[in-house]
Amino acid sequence: MPELPEVECLSRAVGKVVEGGLFEKARFLRKDLRDPIPISDFKRILVGQRIESVERRSKYMLIRTESGFGIIHLGMTGNIICQDSPKPAAPHTHAIFQIRTKSDQLQWLHYIDPRRFGRISAMKGHDLEGHDFFKSLGPEPLEARNLGTYLFQQSRRKKKPIKNFIMDGGVLVGVGNIYAAESLFKARIHPEREAQEVSLPSYNLLAKQIKATLRRAIKAGGTTFRDFKNVDGNPGYFRISLAVYDRTGKPCVECRSPIVSIKQSGRSTWFCEKCQK
């Protein structure tokens, strides 16, 4: 599920439940996901601490305490659900956190991740920029000002395709495969164009479309999280209507010519040959 909008919505939903609460227990049903889980560090930083806030940086969800951050990445198939029971309910439940909310209710966050590409970690202190996970990340697309100019400058002498360029976390975070394709369609840029040959006006339009697409998805996702608390299945993500993603052969929403699919660096890309130059 997770691209930036999903992680943003999930972080807000988790925050609503746990902010101001007490992180009482962490139970791990396995020792590693993509990487080993630093269980004792995690417990030291979280357990017994008040949860100050739940934040997001890139596609990482951050649980802030006075001591530092709990760090959770969902990989490709990760999810967190909030339940009334500490009992693992779904297959591939790998961690369960017990929270005593500020209104003194017990709640359990269940971390589920079939493919185990996700990550659970923790860091002492609050200097994100100094941490390995974050130090080489580019700006947040929704916070960056003059994003078009920035992308234009970063792209000079870069021959890689524009799609790979905007998905490069060192350039810009949070633009995954789905929203990269959608944003390029809306900006009418062919995904195989070399990053260096895209003009400043095109980057300005692209920046605008990246922001608009992400904002629209957050807005759509946000409304589905009202019942996040106590759900017992999934938190109800849904995908905003998409113009090109997974629409091979279907008519372009602008010109009706068929959407085509190609591979770039092993990932599928969809676009309209007529609209995107």
Helices (H) and strands (E) in the chain, counts: 6, 11
Under 8 Å between Cβ of 154 and 101: no
Residue 190 engages DNA in binding (rule: CB under 7 A): no
Give residues 104-133 in contact with DNA (rule: CB under 7 A): 114-117, 133
156 is catalytic: no
Q: Which residue in 12, 56, 59, 247 is the catalytic one? A: 59
Q: State the minimum distance, in angstroms, from the CB of residue 93 to DNA.
A: 12
Residue holding tokens 């959608």?
A: 182
Return the axis-axis angle of helices 147-155 and 200-222, rounded to nearest 10°: 130
3 is catalytic: yes
Residue 164 engages DNA in binding (rule: CB under 7 A): yes
Residue 176 engages DNA in binding (rule: CB under 7 A): yes
Q: State the minimum distance, in angstroms, from the CB of residue 184 to DNA.
A: 14
Residue 160 engages DNA in binding (rule: CB under 7 A): yes
Q: With respect to DNA, which residue has the nearer C-beta, 255 or 262?
A: 262
Contacts of 100 (CB under 8 A, 6+ apart): 21, 22, 24, 106, 107
Q: With respect to DNA, which residue has the nearer C-beta, 91 or 249?
A: 91
Structure tokens at 64: 């802030």
Q: In sequence order, what E strands does the chain have?
A: 22-28, 49-50, 53-57, 60-64, 68-73, 79-83, 93-100, 106-112, 119-124, 260-264, 267-271
135 is catalytic: no
Residue 182 engages DNA in binding (rule: CB under 7 A): no
Residue 195 engages DNA in binding (rule: CB under 7 A): yes
Separation CA 25–CA 97 (nearest Å)? 6
Residue 176 φ/ψ, nearest 5 degrees? -95, -170
Residue 216 engages DNA in binding (rule: CB under 7 A): no
Residue 8 engages DNA in binding (rule: CB under 7 A): no
Give residues 51-70 in contact with DNA (rule: CB under 7 A): 58-59
Query: Which residue from 104, 129, 156, 266 is in contact with DNA, where contact means CB under 7 A?
Result: 266
Under 8 Å between Cβ of 127 and 119: no
44 is catalytic: no
Catalytic residues: 2-3, 59, 267
Name the site residues for DNA (rule: CB under 7 A): 1-3, 6, 34, 58-59, 73, 75-77, 91-92, 114-117, 133, 158-161, 164, 169, 176-178, 195, 264-268
